Protein backbone atom coordinates (compact mmCIF):
# COMPACT_ATOMS: atom_id res chain seq x y z
CA UNK A 1 0.00 0.00 0.00
CA UNK A 2 1.50 3.41 -0.94
CA UNK A 3 2.38 5.83 1.84
CA UNK A 4 0.23 8.98 1.86
CA UNK A 5 2.34 12.10 2.28
CA UNK A 6 0.58 15.18 3.62
CA UNK A 7 1.87 18.52 2.36
CA UNK A 8 3.34 20.96 4.84
CA UNK A 9 1.16 23.95 5.61
CA UNK A 10 -2.53 23.88 4.86
CA UNK A 11 -5.12 21.99 2.90
CA UNK A 12 -7.77 23.88 0.92
CA UNK A 13 -11.21 22.41 1.60
CA UNK A 14 -14.49 24.01 0.53
CA UNK A 15 -12.76 27.37 0.26
CA UNK A 16 -11.52 27.37 3.86
CA UNK A 17 -7.89 27.07 4.82
CA UNK A 18 -7.48 24.25 7.30
CA UNK A 19 -4.19 23.96 9.18
CA UNK A 20 -2.78 20.47 9.49
CA UNK A 21 -3.09 20.49 13.27
CA UNK A 22 -6.63 21.85 13.44
CA UNK A 23 -9.67 23.34 11.76
CA UNK A 24 -11.27 26.73 12.26
CA UNK A 25 -13.53 26.02 15.24
CA UNK A 26 -16.53 28.21 14.32
CA UNK A 27 -18.69 26.68 11.64
CA UNK A 28 -18.45 28.55 8.31
CA UNK A 29 -15.98 31.10 9.70
CA UNK A 30 -13.13 32.47 7.64
CA UNK A 31 -10.15 34.70 8.42
CA UNK A 32 -12.43 37.71 7.88
CA UNK A 33 -14.19 36.84 11.17
CA UNK A 34 -11.28 37.70 13.48
CA UNK A 35 -8.58 40.35 13.78
CA UNK A 36 -5.35 38.79 12.52
CA UNK A 37 -3.34 41.11 14.80
CA UNK A 38 -5.14 40.17 18.04
CA UNK A 39 -2.92 37.27 19.13
CA UNK A 40 -0.53 38.54 21.79
CA UNK A 41 -2.02 42.02 21.64
CA UNK A 42 -1.23 44.16 24.67
CA UNK A 43 -2.68 45.74 26.75
CA UNK A 44 -5.64 43.37 27.00
CA UNK A 45 -7.88 43.73 30.06
CA UNK A 46 -7.15 41.80 33.23
CA UNK A 47 -5.10 39.15 31.42
CA UNK A 48 -2.62 41.79 30.18
CA UNK A 49 -2.04 40.07 26.84
CA UNK A 50 -4.56 38.48 24.47
CA UNK A 51 -3.37 34.88 24.26
CA UNK A 52 -5.73 33.75 21.53
CA UNK A 53 -8.10 35.02 18.89
CA UNK A 54 -11.75 36.06 19.04
CA UNK A 55 -13.83 34.63 16.20
CA UNK A 56 -17.04 36.62 15.81
CA UNK A 57 -20.28 34.95 14.73
CA UNK A 58 -24.00 34.99 15.48
CA UNK A 59 -24.97 33.76 18.94
CA UNK A 60 -25.67 30.02 18.76
CA UNK A 61 -23.38 29.33 15.78
CA UNK A 62 -21.91 25.85 16.27
CA UNK A 63 -18.40 25.62 17.70
CA UNK A 64 -16.67 22.47 16.51
CA UNK A 65 -13.59 20.69 17.79
CA UNK A 66 -10.64 21.95 15.79
CA UNK A 67 -8.81 18.68 16.52
CA UNK A 68 -9.70 15.20 17.69
CA UNK A 69 -8.86 14.69 21.34
CA UNK A 70 -9.83 14.15 24.95
CA UNK A 71 -12.08 16.73 26.60
CA UNK A 72 -10.19 17.56 29.80
CA UNK A 73 -12.50 20.30 31.11
CA UNK A 74 -15.99 21.65 30.65
CA UNK A 75 -17.52 24.22 32.93
CA UNK A 76 -17.81 27.85 33.85
CA UNK A 77 -14.92 30.05 34.93
CA UNK A 78 -14.91 33.74 35.82
CA UNK A 79 -13.22 35.28 32.76
CA UNK A 80 -13.87 32.60 30.15
CA UNK A 81 -17.48 31.90 31.08
CA UNK A 82 -18.62 28.59 29.62
CA UNK A 83 -15.47 26.84 28.42
CA UNK A 84 -14.29 23.58 26.88
CA UNK A 85 -10.66 22.41 26.88
CA UNK A 86 -9.52 19.56 24.62
CA UNK A 87 -6.07 17.98 24.66
CA UNK A 88 -5.12 17.03 21.14
CA UNK A 89 -2.06 16.17 19.04
CA UNK A 90 1.40 17.26 20.23
CA UNK A 91 0.08 17.64 23.82
CA UNK A 92 -1.65 20.89 22.91
CA UNK A 93 -4.70 22.12 24.78
CA UNK A 94 -7.34 23.76 22.60
CA UNK A 95 -9.36 26.21 24.69
CA UNK A 96 -12.83 27.41 23.66
CA UNK A 97 -14.32 30.22 25.78
CA UNK A 98 -17.41 32.49 26.05
CA UNK A 99 -19.68 29.69 24.85
CA UNK A 100 -23.48 30.05 25.02
CA UNK A 101 -23.86 26.28 25.38
CA UNK A 102 -21.58 23.33 26.03
CA UNK A 103 -22.40 20.18 24.06
CA UNK A 104 -19.80 17.76 25.45
CA UNK A 105 -18.52 16.64 28.83
CA UNK A 106 -15.19 16.06 30.54
CA UNK A 107 -13.33 12.83 29.78
CA UNK A 108 -15.18 12.27 26.53
CA UNK A 109 -13.43 11.79 23.20
CA UNK A 110 -14.36 14.21 20.41
CA UNK A 111 -13.53 14.00 16.74
CA UNK A 112 -12.37 16.94 14.67
CA UNK A 113 -15.45 18.81 13.44
CA UNK A 114 -17.74 17.50 16.22
CA UNK A 115 -19.90 20.19 17.85
CA UNK A 116 -18.64 21.00 21.36
CA UNK A 117 -20.72 24.12 22.02
CA UNK A 118 -22.08 27.30 20.50
CA UNK A 119 -20.87 30.89 20.17
CA UNK A 120 -21.94 33.17 22.99
CA UNK A 121 -20.92 36.00 25.29
CA UNK A 122 -20.44 34.33 28.68
CA UNK A 123 -17.80 35.32 31.23
CA UNK A 124 -16.11 38.67 30.77
CA UNK A 125 -17.58 38.86 27.23
CA UNK A 126 -21.05 39.57 28.68
CA UNK A 127 -22.62 42.46 26.82
CA UNK A 128 -20.07 42.32 23.99
CA UNK A 129 -20.71 40.94 20.49
CA UNK A 130 -20.94 37.13 20.55
CA UNK A 131 -17.65 35.42 19.76
CA UNK A 132 -15.50 32.41 20.50
CA UNK A 133 -12.20 33.03 22.25
CA UNK A 134 -9.89 30.31 20.91
CA UNK A 135 -6.42 29.60 22.31
CA UNK A 136 -3.88 26.85 21.77
CA UNK A 137 -1.56 26.05 24.67
CA UNK A 138 1.40 23.66 24.56
CA UNK A 139 2.08 21.59 27.67
CA UNK A 140 5.66 21.26 26.47
CA UNK A 141 7.52 24.59 26.48
CA UNK A 142 9.21 25.93 23.35
CA UNK A 143 12.10 27.94 24.91
CA UNK A 144 13.09 29.52 21.58
CA UNK A 145 9.74 31.34 21.56
CA UNK A 146 10.62 33.32 24.72
CA UNK A 147 10.56 37.07 24.18
CA UNK A 148 11.04 40.27 26.18
CA UNK A 149 7.51 41.43 25.34
CA UNK A 150 4.89 41.81 28.07
CA UNK A 151 4.47 38.31 29.56
CA UNK A 152 6.92 37.13 26.90
CA UNK A 153 7.93 34.07 28.91
CA UNK A 154 4.39 32.73 28.37
CA UNK A 155 5.01 32.70 24.61
CA UNK A 156 6.91 29.46 25.27
CA UNK A 157 3.50 27.86 25.89
CA UNK A 158 0.98 29.75 23.73
CA UNK A 159 0.77 29.10 20.01
CA UNK A 160 -0.84 31.54 17.60
CA UNK A 161 -3.99 29.63 16.62
CA UNK A 162 -4.05 31.39 13.24
CA UNK A 163 -0.82 29.69 12.13
CA UNK A 164 -2.01 27.85 9.06
CA UNK A 165 -5.43 29.55 8.89
CA UNK A 166 -4.23 32.18 6.41
Q: 53-166 — its CATH code?
A: 2.70.70.10
DSSP code string of 109-127? EE-TT-EEEEEB--GGGTT
- Give the separation between CA 99 and CA 27, rounded to whole angstroms: 14
Per-residue confidence of the chain (166 residues) as pLDDT tens digits?
333 333 333 333 333 433 444 688 999 998 889 887 788 766 566 666 778 999 999 999 999 999 999 999 999 999 999 999 999 999 999 999 999 999 999 999 999 999 999 999 999 999 999 999 999 999 999 999 898 988 889 889 999 888 755 3
Omega before 150 within 30 of 0, i.e. cis: no
Residue-wise over 41-67: b if at least 16 C-beta within 10 A, else e?
eeeeeeeebbbbbbbbbeeebbbbbbb
**Burial zone of 86 (CB within 10 Å; 0-12 exposed, 13-18 middle, 19+ buried):** buried
Amino acid sequence: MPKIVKPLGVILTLGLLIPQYGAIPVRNASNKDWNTQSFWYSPWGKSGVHKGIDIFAKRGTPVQASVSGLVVFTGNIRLGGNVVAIIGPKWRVHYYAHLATINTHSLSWVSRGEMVGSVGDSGNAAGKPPHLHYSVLSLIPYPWRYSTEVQGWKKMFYIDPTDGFM
